[in-house]
Structure formats: structure tokens, C-alpha cells
Amino acid sequence: MKNNPRVALYVSLAVLIVIPSVFLVISLVTENWKFFMFAIWGSFLGGFPGFVHSMIAIKKEKMSSVT
């Protein structure tokens, strides 16, 4: 199985940006901000570690291609 850190980066950015945006729209429509508050924490806990690990993998990939 091939390791592709760019796909992981795109997925983690989608989790960090798209999911809270959807719940922001839901919260604006329903005026119930609990949806948005739960989405912020869930997306941060799910997306940020993936973002960090994918950035580390991309840097390692660049360093190995240079040397």
C-alpha cells in the first residue's frame, strides 16, 4: 500500500473546514448553536492530528528526495 501524505492533508483540511461550515449553516438556520459548538471540537480533534502528521510526512518526503 502506497503512503500518500497529500491525500491525508486534503482530507484533514476538509475535516477542519467543511464540517464546521456545514454545521455553521445549520446553526444559523435553526438558531441552535450547540450544533456548531460540537462540530468545532469534533472536527478539531479529528482533523488537527491528521494535519500535523501529514505535514510531517510531507517534510520527510521532501527531505528524502533532496538527499
pTM (two decimals): 0.78
Say how far residue 54 (Cα) sits from the centre of its chain. Answer: 10
- Terminus-to-terminus CA distance in the chain, angstroms? 24
Domain count, the chain: 1
DSSP 8-state secondary structure symbol assigned to residue 33: T
Return the pLDDT at 15.
Answer: 92
Domain membership of residue 32 as a residue range: 5-66
pLDDT digits (tens, 9 = 90+) for 5-52: 889 899 999 999 999 999 999 999 999 999 899 889 989 999 999 999
Rounded-to-10 torsion of CA 31, 36, 38, 43:
170
44 CB contacts (<8 Å, ≥6 apart)?
16
